[in-house]
Amino acid sequence: MAEMKRKNYVTPTHYLELVKGYVSLLVEKNTEIGEMANKLRNGLDKLTEARIQVEEMGVDLEKKKDIVAKKQKECQDLLVVIVEKRMSADEQKKQVEADSERIGKEEAETKILADDARRDLAKAMPALEAAIDALEKLDKKAISEVKAYSKPPDLVMKTMAAVMTVMDKTPSWQQAKLELNDPGFLTKIKNFDKDNISDSTLKKIIKYTKDPGFTPEAVTKVSSAAGALCLWVHAMRLYSEVYREVEPKRLKLKMAEETLAKKQSDLKAATERLKDIQERVQALKFQYDESMRTKDELTASAEELKVKLERAEKLVTGLAGEKDRWEESVQAYNEQISYLPGDC
């Protein structure tokens, strides 16, 4: 146009169309470049978030490692306690079993002593029971018949003298009549303390019972009441003799029973202590199992977190170069956007 020396005139309409096209192109390019820049910014934000998450995962992993180490120490300490308690329980169990076996033998020996004493004492029981049975048949009338004698027959006199001797009274008819007049005479006879007849009294009783003519049968022929009392005198003599034979055994039995009772009590206490220890061992075992389960769960969780952390670190490290390129690209896009008004 210049060479041809011609002028080009732009009409208002053409100018408005030019401005409109310029604005449209500017908006289009601004939007296009802005979207590309935003995509890169979002990527950079994701990388920053990933790096922060990796750091947090690292902190979390260290915490879990500490917890696992503490749980491991707790389990080891518990195991030591369990082993000690179990060893103690095993030792006590052996002791209790040994004591139980020994006491079982002592129980058997004590039973033999008791059976022996009862067997010896049983020798005198038939005569004693027969005498008591005969006395049970006596009544006030029978006693009155005996004390009614002004001059009793010799066998009746001898019987009453023997009865007075057993009762540690003067062996005379006068003393006998005093006792017979006592309303509680028969009760005294039936409940007589036969375990405490003295040696001197027993010797005197034996003198009466050794007399061949002094028998319950012979006396009964003269007086049935006196015959029952004669039977009682013979029973007291037999019982006293047997009692003296049995008494050492009874004393030995009593001592054995007392010793056995003490040992049984000690065994019961030891058994209860053993039960308590075994229950505590069981409780510790349960606690140990629970701690091991928790430790295993924490270990598995820590291992899983470790794997995730390693993968995340590889990803973040791998994208480190991209980060620099993306930052440069964003900077370039920002510059392009600033130049767009002139470039368009």
pLDDT digits (tens, 9 = 90+) for 103-121: 888 888 888 888 887 887 7
Mean pLDDT of 162-167: 96
Return the structure tokens found at 39: 């995509």
Q: pLDDT band for position 317 (50/70/90)?
A: confident
Give DSSP secondary structure letters for 69-107.
Answer: HHHHHHHHHHHHHHHHHHHHHHHHHHHHHHHHHHHHHHH
User: Is the pLDDT at 71 greater than 70, yes or no?
Assistant: yes
Q: pLDDT band for position 166 (50/70/90)?
A: very high
What pLDDT sits at residue 173?
94
Query: Distance (Å, rounded) from C-alpha 195 to C-alpha 182?
Result: 23
Domain 119-270 is found in CATH 1.20.920.60: yes
Most confident option among 31-40, 66-75, 214-223: 214-223
What pLDDT sits at residue 223?
93
User: By the 8 A CB rule, do 179 and 154 touch?
Assistant: no
User: By the 8 A CB rule, do 160 and 176 touch?
Assistant: yes
Q: pLDDT band for position 182 (50/70/90)?
A: very high
- Mean pLDDT, rounded, of the chain: 84
User: By the 8 A CB rule, do 242 and 120 touch?
Assistant: yes
What pLDDT sits at residue 1?
47
Please report the sign of the dihedral spanned by the C-alpha atoms of residue 179, residue 180, residue 183, residue 186.
positive
Residues in the chain: 344
Lowest-pLDDT range of 1-10, 14-23, 37-46, 295-304? 1-10
E-strand ranges in the chain read none
What pLDDT sits at residue 342?
63
Most confident option among 141-145, 207-211, 331-335: 207-211
Q: pLDDT band for position 344 (50/70/90)?
A: low
CATH topology of 12-93+285-343 equal to that of 119-270? no
Alpha carbon separation from 72 to 82, 249, 289 (Å, rounded): 15, 65, 12
Lowest-pLDDT range of 36-45, 182-191, 226-235, 326-335? 326-335
Select from 341, 339, 336, 344 the least CA-distant residue to 34.
Answer: 336
Q: Which residue has the tokens 């590889």?
A: 314
Query: Distance (Å, rounded) from C-alpha 3 to C-alpha 295?
Result: 93
What pLDDT sits at residue 90?
87
Sorted by sequence, the CB contacts under 8 Å of residue 336 that are 6+ apart come out as: 33, 343
CATH of 12-93+285-343 among 1.25.40, 1.10.287, 3.30.200, 3.30.40: 1.10.287
Query: Distance (Å, rounded) from C-alpha 278 to C-alpha 291?
Result: 20
Three-state DSSP at 128 gives helix
Mean pLDDT of 178-204: 92
Lowest-pLDDT range of 144-153, 202-211, 299-308, 331-340? 331-340
Q: What are the sequence ranges of the domains in the chain?
A: 12-93+285-343, 119-270
Q: pLDDT band for position 200 (50/70/90)?
A: very high
What pLDDT sits at residue 6?
63
What pLDDT sits at residue 8?
65
Query: Distance (Å, rounded) from C-alpha 257 to C-alpha 110?
Result: 7
Return the structure tokens found at 259: 């010793």
